[in-house]
Amino acid sequence: MTDYLTRLFIDGSWQDADSGETFAVLNPADGSELARVADADARDMTRAIDGAERAQIGWAATPALERSRILRRAAEIGRADIDRLARVMTAEHGKPIAQSIGELNYGFDFIDWFAEEARRTYGTTVPSTGPDKRIVAIRQAAGVSVAITPWNFPSLQILRKLGAALAAGCSMVVKPAALTPISALEIGRFFAEAGLPDGVLQIVLSSRASRVSATIMADSRVRVLSFTGSTEVGKILMREGAATMKRLALELGGHAPFIVFDDADVEHALDQLVAVKMRNMGQTCVSANRIFVQRSIAPEFTRRLVERLSSMKVGFGHEDGVEVGPLIEAAAVAKVEAHVADAVAGGAGVATGGKRPEHSALANGHFYEPTVLTGVTDDMLVARDETFGPVAPIFEFDTEEEVVARANNSPYGLAAYFFTRDVNRVVRVSESLQYGTVGANDGSISAVQAPFGGVKESGIGREGGHWGMEEYLDTKYISLAGL
Ligand code: ADP
């Protein structure tokens, strides 16, 4: 039996919930119970915010170089332990080990990036109106911050927010998803070992998300909330945040179009599509959800996509060669099944997959076969709602103008991809797509130095690059007079 971390991380120590209650963490590949972890309620959350507030001033006053060193040390300690951390993640999430390692490395890269940015929170001086005055603008830590994160990238979603917050001088309370809490606790372990002062990072697990988040949102000491999750919950938090005028950074749902024009490099487009569709079993907010293929190349493109997806190995994430693990929980499989059933009822064809794997070894896990749907139309569920699973629906189109309009016909605006060799079209379509992130001949848009985020109902704010720091910094104008 592996020794998993199971308790809340508050004020630098591992603590039980006040109530003594716990909840179970399950392995989605076989349904087994991995551990029972502390289940916080409002009292524990208040205790965590108390500690974060106590730690805040000292951390903001710590020289940037020292904050930077601690961040870098944490990333180093994490990297040295990456194989074990990846096994923990695969056990509670299901993703193939190679993807767990990839996610962790990407998360550590964020910590390194923000360790550098910590040293570059520059202020400005502006020419004043008279010789006896100076105008100075400084950047200061915004105060106590909170991260509420989802299960799809159990470490990355936290590290990306935490790196920026700590670099800016903010303390942070993390409320991770209840489905993947152990990877979150591991972050507490390596930051503590790196010398992060007690209380600067608090990790509070809870199965009662709305109850503990109501405590967070009502507390005026919390100045910044960074949330990644559904648009539905993002809207609730935005309403609740109004009471204390919190600054909100919201990374919400997406419904990414992936457009392949008839002049595209098809082989390259296929490589990118398979990666961006199947990574994390399709459970990402930037997954290709609506695959628009120009009519003349659609049959050939579909045939080659089917060839690739049908040969992917489905199974337990810790086994060699597995490319597709289980979905996170039974409800996720049920949603995929509902989307596929709706498409089929509307006349779509199933070119491959369309069901759970029949292998008996996989019977207790939440597995679903990589699936390609053909003849999909804009009135089907897959065209409107995030599937969050390994389903590739193919929509055919005739003209550029038509496909751009159809791609933009969504309340979401997170990521979009298109493939063409026409340089003029690259510029036109990049500028016309109403999305926060556009991949022009690119499906691999993740980069620590880039501004990632959405428009429309996909959210507010940007993570990554120097933009990522903005959420955690206030600008203070100091008017110096009488000189
Ligand atoms: P996902 O679809 O990615 O699971 P959710 O928005 O349901 O997205 O969950 C993302 C995070 O928000 C998780 O940490 C979850 O516990 C939390 N959460 C879920 N419901 C609420 C709520 N009503 N209020 C605050 N946080 C919530």
Specify the CATH number for the domain of residue 82: 3.40.605.10
Catalytic residues: 251, 285
Query: Using a 6 Å cutoff on CB, does residue 213 contact ligand 1?
Result: yes
- Tell me the CA–centroid distance for residue 147 and ligand 1, in Å: 11
Question: Is residue 194 in some structural domain?
Answer: yes
Question: Is residue 57 in some structural domain?
Answer: yes
Residue 4, pLDDT above cutoff 80: yes
- Predicted local confidence at residue 415, as pLDDT: 98
- Tell me the CA–centroid distance for residue 303 and ligand 1, in Å: 38
Q: Looking at residue 389, which CATH number applies to its domain? A: 3.40.309.10
- Mean pLDDT for the stretch of residues 273-300: 98
| Same domain? 399 vs 330 | yes
- Tell me the CA–centroid distance for residue 396 and ligand 1, in Å: 34
| Same domain? 244 vs 318 | no
| Same domain? 158 vs 192 | yes
CA distance linking residue 83 with residue 75, whole number of Å? 14
| Same domain? 370 vs 470 | no
Residue 281, pLDDT above cutoff 70: yes
Query: Using a 6 Å cutoff on CB, does residue 178 contact ligand 1?
Result: yes
Question: 464 to each of 117, 228, 415, 445, 448, how far by Cα in Å?
Answer: 10, 14, 15, 12, 5
Task: Indicate if the alpha-carbon torsion angle 212, 217, 220, 226 is positive or negative.
Answer: positive
| Same domain? 150 vs 37 | yes
pTM of full prediction above 0.95: yes
- Predicted local confidence at residue 405, as pLDDT: 98
Q: Pocket of ligand 1, candidates 45, 148, 246: which has the most ligand atoms within 8 Å of its Cβ, to mutate?
A: 148
- HSE toward the beta carbon, residue 198, CA cutoff 13 A: 8
Protein residue with least CA distance to atom 17, ligand 1: 209
Residue 359, pLDDT above cutoff 70: yes
- SS3 at position 174: strand
Whole-number mean pLDDT of the chain? 98
- Predicted local confidence at residue 242, as pLDDT: 98
- Predicted local confidence at residue 2, as pLDDT: 75
Question: Is residue 337 in some structural domain?
Answer: yes
Query: Using a 6 Å cutoff on CB, does residue 148 contact ligand 1?
Result: yes
Query: Using a 6 Å cutoff on CB, does residue 207 contact ligand 1?
Result: no
- Mean pLDDT for the stretch of residues 40-49: 98
| Same domain? 178 vs 274 | no
Residue 176, pLDDT above cutoff 90: yes
Question: Is residue 446 in some structural domain?
Answer: no
- Mean pLDDT for the stretch of residues 13-40: 98
| Same domain? 298 vs 343 | yes
Non-local CB neighbours of 321 within 8 Å, separated by 6+ positions:
313
CA distance linking residue 341 with residue 336, whole number of Å? 9
Question: Is residue 445 in some structural domain?
Answer: no
Residue 1, pLDDT above cutoff 90: no
- Tell me the CA–centroid distance for residue 464 and ligand 1, in Å: 22
Query: Using a 6 Å cutoff on CB, does residue 289 contact ligand 1?
Result: no
Protein residue with least CA distance to atom 8, ligand 1: 229
- Provide ipTM, 2 decimals: 0.93
Question: Is residue 333 in some structural domain?
Answer: yes
| Same domain? 169 vs 43 | yes
Non-local CB neighbours of 164 within 8 Å, separated by 6+ positions:
114, 117, 463, 468, 469, 471, 472
Give the tens place of pLDDT for each residue, 315-348: 999 999 999 999 999 999 999 999 999 999 999 9
Residue 123, pLDDT above cutoff 80: yes
Protein residue with least CA distance to atom 25, ligand 1: 210
Model confidence band, residue 243 (pLDDT cutoffs 50, 70, 90): very high
Q: How many domains does the chain have?
A: 2
- Mean pLDDT for the stretch of residues 273-286: 98
Give the tens place of pLDDT for each residue, 96-113: 999 999 999 999 999 999
| Same domain? 130 vs 236 | yes
| Same domain? 291 vs 382 | yes
| Same domain? 397 vs 293 | yes
- Tell me the CA–centroid distance for residue 233 and ligand 1, in Å: 6
| Same domain? 356 vs 387 | yes
Protein residue with least CA distance to atom 14, ligand 1: 177
Query: Using a 6 Å cutoff on CB, does residue 210 contact ligand 1?
Result: yes
Give the tens place of pLDDT for each residue, 399-447: 999 999 999 999 999 999 999 999 999 999 999 999 999 999 999 999 9
For residue 208, give its domain range: 8-252+458-477
